[in-house]
Amino acid sequence: MASLISCPHCGIRPKEEFTIKGDASLARPAADANSDIWYDYVYLRDNPKGQHKEYWHHSSGCRRWLIVERDTVTHKIHAVSDAALAKLGDGA
């Protein structure tokens, strides 16, 4: 059975239409942050186990950026929201 993602714009679509882009909980450092802080932001990542928010791009559909909340162990998707709208609200 194919994994499905419920895009808020296109409806239920196969996961192959999407590209995962990474952790949606990271906060970008200030432009004047020192190089150690930028190094950590760009290269060092946690490998979480359990429920986690990630950026996904609907590259073969509406081309919108989404925040997908999924379990990294079971791959079950708990929630999907438009990333632009989430950033306008209270954040990711």
1-29+52-92 sits in which CATH class?
alpha beta
Among 60, 80, 62, 68, CA closest to 21: 68
Q: Exposed/middle/buried for 50, CB within 10 Å: 0-12, 13-18, 19+?
A: exposed
Supply the pTM of this predicted model: 0.81
pLDDT digits (tens, 9 = 90+) for 7-48: 999 999 999 999 999 899 889 999 999 999 999 999 998 888
Average pLDDT over residues 70-78: 93
Structural domain boundaries in the chain: 1-29+52-92
Q: How many CB atoms lie within 10 A of CB 32?
A: 6
pLDDT digits (tens, 9 = 90+) for 57-71: 999 999 999 999 999
